[in-house]
Structure 1
Amino acid sequence: MQVLTHFLNSLLTISLLSQTLSWAQSGTRSSAYNGGMRFTLAHGRDVRQDSTGQVYTLFNLGKKNQQIMKGTPYWAYPTWQHGSIQLKTGMAETPCQIAYNVATNEILCRFNQDTTTYQLEPVAFKIWDAKFVRLTQHGYPTYYQILYQGDAQLFSSYKRQMKLLLPQPYGSAYLIGYFLGLERYYYLKLPNGLFHTFQLTRKSFLQAMGDNVNRSLIPPGETLTVDDVVRVLTDYDAH
């Protein structure tokens, strides 16, 4: 009976995480996500590193049948980074230790030396020198890193997909899957224009820019860097 109970609990966890993965892939928000799935991933706040350097996330901390996913749902490891938040437009930034959960789009903060964790919804935040702003695209708000901001604007967003496994013993816990590497997406916004998603390739960037580009500023070859794009946008703003 105990084995059966553990198996059913594991199936429930996998079901919740599978729905989360489906949401992340489709980019749509569901009522189910706002319930159990959000609770499950949001409580994966204990991220550790073993003696081999493997980063892993613990769920059900302090309970029997703890579950582990290799990797982290957060933007960075260590989870807590130096930063600041801006709760409302026009307000001053407040320094804090900040954790950005990319899998759930949640911002966690700790202030001063207090270890109390607050879940907040700032309009903007910083992690070290990386600046993020909350924007609403495709019907729901998410956070975008500001890479260039003038008349033309360049943003990037991040996602972490996950791969699920049948529960298997992993030390004193059970391994149920792992988070994949951080995926990065780029967006261009020209004056009076919509967001254009593009890749860091010559062809993709030229399609996003249309006729608004000095091609002589784009280096030869197919692959571009963020600095290449910023150089073109700086020239665009100067004319």
Structure 2
Amino acid sequence: MERITVLLIGLLIGGHTALAQCVVSKDVYGQIVTTCEVYESGLSTAPSHKQETYLGSPFLTYPAWQMGTVQIEPGGKEVACELAYDLVANEVQCHFEANSPLSRLTPYAFTIDGLTFVRQLSDLPGGLAKRYTTVLYAGPTKLTKSIISRLVPTLTTNGYDKSSVFQGHYQQKETYYIQKGDAQPELTSLDEASLLKTLHGRSTPLATNAPTRQLPADEVIKMLMNYDSVSAIANLSKPALSTDALFNQQLTRELSYPNQAWLAGVYGRVYVGFTVNEQGQLGELVTLSPENIGYGLDQAVKRALKQVGTLKPAYQGRYALPVAFTYDHTQDTRDAYVPVNVLAPERYVDRILLTEFVVPIKVAKPVPTIREVWGFYK
């Protein structure tokens, strides 16, 4: 029977932490199990000892210890060691030399069992800040995966009847992220609706009946390869700023449908002009299209642009950004209301016209009328 001993670790038992000497092995059925000698001590009780067995292991691999490499800092040297990746504690345990003391690390990157994990230095959405991710697809649109684990105690109905020989099991959870270019990774599920939403953001309205079929990772990778191929061709005809992943992500996050507009059943298209200076800073925001006084569509676009960080100095220039606010009502049998008014080219003749952003809203609240607003020129 293959066995691997784990040094003293902390287990949460009965609301407090107990020390445990654990052994990870395979039982007669070929299952990976973790057997722990648990030592508890309380303020009012004498120290106690018991043995507990859990199905599975807190580690990524079996055996837990594998030859690999660690990279302590970005750009640093990769150092070989025998290491184990603890998915519960989110730490790397390492022996740099035979019989050397155990080192507990949180390196920038490490490689184990042929997989390279990189520590996310910025916060990830979904409560996985500073987790490690491994790359599944390394194209212009990256697919990465984070793995965590937790110990789930086995519930018993009384002190005599036990539904399992195990006192608990280790439950692994995989979380997936999509990263477009220099943008931050975005949390996604591997179903078609989530992937479409993550890939297109608000720039493309989604059908309300988008499929939710779960896809295997290899099928998602094929989808991303096709997406990158199609995007590369489409981007050839787009202004450079419209293809910048970070600009698109920041603007998508900040753009929202104004409350006063959707409550009034109003939709429309607005054009906002702005400049990017030699330092990559945005400024000189101005409404180019007729104002929609009272509904806040152009103000929503200006607020979003003010939240966009510094861009690449190479984007220096004057721009016109069209944004379409589309309206979809649950009680209406027709498709979403899409604005038809467009700005005459002479109104932005000295500016680069960017690819249009689409901000959709789906409303269930009854409204008297649904109408497009275009306003008037000053």
TM-score, normalised via structure 2 length: 0.44
- Aligned position for 2:14: 14
- TM-superposed CA distance for 1:93, in Å, is 1.1
Structure having the higher helix fraction is 1
- Equivalent residue, structure 1, for 2:69: 84
- The Cα of 1:193 is off from its aligned counterpart by 3.2
| Sequence identity (%) | 26
Query: Given that residues 134 and 143 in structure 1 are in contact (C-alpha distance below 8 angstroms), is that contact kept between their aligned partners in structure 2?
Result: yes
Q: Deviations over 1:148-179 (max 9, x none)?
A: 2343221101122332136879xxxx953221
CA distance in 1: counterparts of 2:177 and 2:26, whole angstroms = 33
**Residue pair 1:96, 1:111 contacting (<8 A) in 2 also:** yes
Indicate the RMSD between aligned Cα atoms, in angstroms. 3.3
Q: Residues 118 and 198 from structure 1, CA distance in 2 versus in 1: closer, same or farther, beyond 3 angstroms?
A: same
Pairwise CA distance, 1:195: 2.5
TM-superposed CA distance for 1:189, in Å, is: 1.1
Query: 1:104: how far off?
Result: 1.1
Shift of 1:115: 5.7
Tell me, yes or no, if the aligned pair for 2:22 and 2:37 is still in contact at 8 Å.
Answer: no
User: Hey, what does 2:35 align to over in structure 1?
Assistant: 58
Aligned residues: 194
Indicate the residue corresponding to 2:109 in structure 1.
124
Counterpart secondary structure, 1:75: coil
Q: Deviation of residue 183 (structure 1)?
A: 2.1
SS at match of 2:35: strand
AA of the residue aligned to 2:108:
V
Amino acid at match of 2:79: T
Deviation at 1:52, TM superposition (A): 2.6
User: Structure 1-normalised TM-score?
Assistant: 0.67
Deviation at 1:103, TM superposition (A): 1.0
* Structure 1 residue 198: Cα displacement: 1.9
- Structure 1 pair 83–15 and aligned structure 2 pair: CA distance change class (3 A): same
Give the corresponding residue for 2:94: 109
In structure 2, what is the Cα distance between the partners aligned to 1:190 and 1:179? 33
Structure having the higher Rg: 2
Q: Does the Cα contact within 8 Å between 1:97 and 1:109 map onto a contact in 2?
A: yes
Report how far residue 45 of structure 1 moved.
5.0
For residues 85-234 of structure 1, what are the structure 2 equivalents within 5 Å? 85-114=70-99, 116-135=101-120, 136-137=123-124, 138=127, 140-165=129-154, 175-180=166-171, 182-210=172-200, 222-234=213-225
**After TM superposition, which residue ranges in structure 1, 4 or more long, deviate above 4 angstroms?**
166-169, 235-238
Single out whichever of 135-144 and 119-128 deviates more from structure 2: 135-144
Quick one: distance in 2 between partners of 1:118 and 1:103? Answer: 17
Structure 1: segments with no counterpart, 5+ residues: 1-11, 17-35, 214-220
Q: Which has the higher contact order (CA 8 A, sep 6+)?
A: 1
The answer to which of 60-69 and 80-89 deviates more is 60-69
User: Structure 2 vs 1, CA of residues 61 and 80 (structure 1 numbering), >3 Å: closer, same or farther?
Assistant: farther
Q: Residues 45 and 79 (structure 1 numbering): CA distance in 2 closer, same or farther, change over 3 Å? A: farther
